[in-house]
């Protein structure tokens, strides 16, 4: 998922694009109509690059940042989000859609079957001020995006929209009745989508809701916009700093989650906690609690499909956790029963900094990056981060960033950037600068690798159609056999389909 970014007066940033993961993904966009181009891009059979598993020998790589007729974008394209059969991307190309010729960055949805849809447009007119991202609802039926200056380019700040892909209908999220907010910052991620995409939670800096960042939830069916960052007396309690809070929503849209650095949310509760706002009951409660129910500090990572909430904390949220080291915790489905993620099934807690890296779409597995030396991996040193996947069903902790047998673990550096888990967590992809994770090191300094946990194999997926290694830093998992990734050198978005 990863670090968070900040928003400025006319620029929007996000922290995560999926309800099960947190990632630093820009999601500033301009809205628009559907401009669909028919047909598909042909795959090219590849040789197996050095160091990949034998199963990858019949894999193919195709270009996603292209029209259905195979015209590759002539600008720089960036991978943003993915769902089975669909990929969201941004591009400055002037040849991907009629009218999108200004060079301003626009947002698109690409179907792996071939259709390319321009979403940052109003009617048939692409947004004059461009777009910077588009993210899917969990079911893939809708996309959320932010338009600079609104759809018509006349708003005073960035505006959020949701588009229904089947109909092309677009709804203003950051406002009601067609009237936009005077935003001075907006943070929108797919993590704020309810399961069916009918509710969207996001953060905004708008003076009509008080100072600092506030958390809002838009109900698309009711046409309402509700303040969710509310304290015990009904006062706005969003963070006062420049960094927007991480925001999540339950699958049914009944509760919104956020973290806050203020001490005015609930009486007697110290700042730096994760909160839950019950929208129907209009009550706010602390989620970052220990077994005794005492607030133990935390920052929100994600709300899982199962209803459990993952958060990072330097506190002792579970007995025996080293104070100040930083560990990853998960609540029960009701928000109680805090348990450790960053530990083996038999314990103890990680003895060094451990952070959240991602989660599976079904909510049964969580990935973490850890500097710990007590998680069952021989030879790990404190300065060497390692990637793990924790099964929330069995408690098993699996080492992902493991080199081939006989290779020194200590050389394994730079792992766990842009981590992605498959639907059930059995497949993990990530961007890494590690040079000893394959039998032969890639010829580029940063690659996308894929680990099949059941088979115990690691392969390189960032490979061009020519068979050459691709410099890549962003990856998204579509399904068990397809992974999208960035070509950072050529500025294209590619799809790797396993053989």
Domain ranges of the chain: 306-360+362-400
Q: What is the pLDDT of residue 416?
A: 58
Q: What is the pLDDT of residue 406?
A: 60
**Percentage of the chain lying above the pLDDT 90 cut:** 53
**Distance (Å, whole) CA 15 – CA 21:** 9
Count of C-beta atoms within a 10 Å radius of residue 314: 18
pLDDT in tens, 315-368: 999 988 888 889 999 999 877 789 999 998 877 788 889 999 999 999 999 999
Q: What mean pLDDT comes out for the span 304-310?
A: 95
Q: What mean pLDDT comes out for the span 109-133?
A: 85
414 CB-near residues (< 8 Å, 6+ apart): 385, 432, 433, 434, 446
Q: What is the pLDDT of residue 57?
A: 64
**Distance (Å, whole) CA 472 – CA 265:** 42
Q: What is the mean pLDDT of the chain?
A: 83
pLDDT in tens, 321-333: 888 889 999 999 8
**Percentage of the chain lying above the pLDDT 70 cut:** 85
Higher pLDDT, 123 or 364: 364
pLDDT in tens, 225-244: 999 998 888 888 877 677 88
- Which H helix or E strand runs over 442? none
**Distance (Å, whole) CA 425 – CA 368:** 12
Q: What is the pLDDT of residue 219?
A: 96
Whether residue 419 has pLDDT greater than 50: yes
**Which range, of 44-58, 98-112, 398-412, 450-464, averages the lowest pLDDT?**
44-58
- pLDDT band of 412, cuts 50, 70, 90: low
């Amino acid at each position: 998922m990863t670090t968070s970014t900040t928003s400025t007066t006319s620029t929007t940033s996000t922290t995560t694009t999926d309800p099960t993961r947190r990632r630093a993904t820009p999601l500033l966009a301009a809205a628009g109509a559907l401009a669909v181009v028919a047909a598909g891009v042909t795959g090219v059979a590849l040789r197996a690059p050095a160091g990949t598993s034998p199963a990858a020998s019949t894999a193919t790589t195709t270009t996603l940042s292209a029209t259905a007729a195979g015209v590759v974008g002539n600008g720089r394209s960036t991978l943003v989000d993915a769902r089975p059969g669909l990929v969201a991307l941004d591009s400055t190309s002037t040849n991907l859609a009629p009218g999108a010729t200004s060079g301003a960055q626009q947002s698109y949805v690409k179907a792996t079957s071939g259709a390319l849809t321009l979403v940052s447009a109003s009617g048939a007119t692409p947004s004059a001020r461009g777009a910077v991202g588009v993210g899917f609802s969990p079911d893939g039926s809708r996309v959320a995006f932010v338009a600079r200056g609104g759809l018509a380019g006349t708003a005073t700040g960035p505006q959020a929209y949701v588009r229904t892909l089947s109909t092309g209908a677009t709804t203003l999220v950051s406002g009601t009745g067609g009237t936009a907010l005077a935003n001075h910052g907006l943070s929108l991620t797919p993590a704020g989508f309810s399961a069916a995409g009918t509710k969207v939670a996001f953060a905004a800096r708008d003076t009509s809701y008080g100072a600092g960042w506030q958390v809002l939830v838009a109900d698309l069916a009711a046409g309402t916009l509700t303040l969710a960052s509310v304290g015990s007396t009904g006062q706005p309690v969003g963070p006062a700093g420049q960094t927007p809070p991480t925001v999540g929503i339950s699958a049914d849209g009944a509760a919104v989650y956020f973290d806050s650095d203020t001490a005015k949310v609930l009486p007697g509760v110290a700042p730096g906690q994760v909160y839950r706002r019950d929208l129907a009951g209009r009550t706010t409660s602390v989620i970052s609690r220990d077994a005794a129910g005492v607030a133990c500090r935390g920052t929100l990572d994600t709300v899982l499909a199962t209803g459990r909430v993952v958060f990072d904390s330097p506190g002792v949220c579970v007995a025996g956790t080293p104070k100040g080291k930083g560990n990853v915790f998960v609540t029960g489905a009701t928000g109680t029963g805090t348990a450790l993620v960053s530990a083996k099934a038999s314990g103890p807690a990680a003895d060094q900094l451990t952070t959240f890296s991602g989660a599976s779409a079904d909510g049964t597995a969580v990935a973490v990056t850890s500097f710990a030396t007590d998680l069952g991996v021989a030879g790990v040193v404190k300065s060497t981060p390692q990637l793990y996947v924790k099964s929330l069903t069995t408690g098993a902790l699996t080492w992902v960033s493991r080199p081939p047998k006989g290779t020194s673990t200590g050389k394994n550096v730079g792992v766990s950037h842009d981590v992605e888990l498959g639907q059930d967590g059995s497949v993990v992809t990530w961007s890494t600068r590690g040079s000893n994770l394959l039998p032969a090191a890639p010829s580029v300094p940063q690659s996308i690798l894929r680990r099949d946990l059941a088979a115990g194999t690691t392969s390189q997926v960032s490979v061009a159609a020519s068979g050459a290694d691709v410099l890549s830093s962003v990856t998204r998992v579509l399904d068990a056999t397809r992974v999208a990734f960035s070509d950072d050198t050529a500025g294209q978005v590619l799809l790797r389909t396993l053989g």
